Amino acid sequence: EKKVDFKRKSPEFKISIPAAVSRAMDAVFSWTAQSACSDEAAELTTDSFDSTHDLELCKGAKAKQIVRQLSSRSGDDKDDATDADADSSPAALQPSRSHEIDPSKRLRLQKGNGTYAVVSAAAYYLRKHCNIHISIRQMGLVFSAAGAVWGGSILVPLHFAGRTTKGLSYVFSFAVGATLVNLALWVLRYNYLLKQHKHSHLAAYHSLPAFHFKAMALPGALSGLLWSVGNISSILSVTYLGEGVGYSMTQSAMLVSGLWGIFWFKEITSLHSIRGWMASASLAIAGILLLSYNHMPPLPKVVLKH
């Protein structure tokens, strides 16, 4: 019997597994963040707060109203002048003297700031379902560390790919791995919802987040195309410059996205925060320049003949 050497006949298939692993690390974190921001985690009833500290999970005018209501718990002995001022204020902002909050009122996380909504929803989810008390700042640090681990290791499998399957050949395997992993995660999520809704397929389907195909078709395609171009460039950079130099230099993309967030999306409005971001960006640019200098070939030695 003749033995067939599959590795020799199909070398391009060797890196489909490391490509899938690299995409899995990124997709798992993205899916976790998306799950934390589901409707169940994002809906906050006003009677679920125990103190004013809990209201840091919320923003907006209704949050201010509940802050006033909760702060009135310790203000039973205020003088008549304070009561007169409260009576003269709008009815929506008057503190509740009976210390009761209408449970029918619901408070949703602010949708304008996506990062804040995801982090605060995750903190609320852990508090409600896991009895883990964690602040938004601490949750943000956890998300940052997780993003650094997943994002920093996403192209590590490229190091173990064969020489004939690096560069542009790795892009195809990366795309296949991304598709398979995302489909697998959606199947797992649907099965989980199916179990939660007692094997009702219709209820499980409606529990999935809305896809908004009509609204997101064009911007989603454009953003995907832009991301794919950047991803291909990142793979080529790591292939020819190495993981330490190439991937580190690709992180300069965060400088561009940060400028978009400051000047176009207005995600950062505080002058102090903008100055801090600019200082951090300057350090990042200095690091990129140092990395590029270290990768430069040495200058040829000049030999003087006597």
pLDDT in tens, 170-198: 888 888 888 898 999 999 999 999 998 98
User: Are both 142 and 204 inside the same structural domain?
Assistant: no
Residue 240 tokens read as 């020819």
User: Are both 156 and 170 inside the same structural domain?
Assistant: no
Highest averaged pLDDT of the listed ranges 25-39, 46-60, 79-93, 200-214: 200-214
Residue 250 within a domain: yes
pLDDT in tens, 230-243: 888 888 888 888 77
| Cβ(109)–Cβ(120) below 8 Å | yes
φ and ψ at residue 45, rounded to 5 degrees:
-85, 145
User: Are both 232 and 272 inside the same structural domain?
Assistant: yes
The structural domain count of the chain equals 3
Instruction: Determine the pLDDT at residue 46.
Output: 38
Please give the residue range of the domain that contains residue 203.
165-210
CA pair distance 164, 166, nearest whole angstrom: 6
**Type of residue numbered 188:** L
Q: What is the pTM of this model?
A: 0.53
Residue 47 tokens read as 């009677």
Residue 165 — pLDDT band, cuts 50, 70, 90?
confident
**Type of residue numbered 99:** H
Residue 262 has pLDDT above 60, yes or no: yes
Residue 95 — pLDDT band, cuts 50, 70, 90?
very low
- Sign of the dihedral defined by the CA atoms of residues 43, 190, 27, 254, in that order: negative
User: Are both 246 and 197 inside the same structural domain?
Assistant: no
DSSP label at 198?
A: T
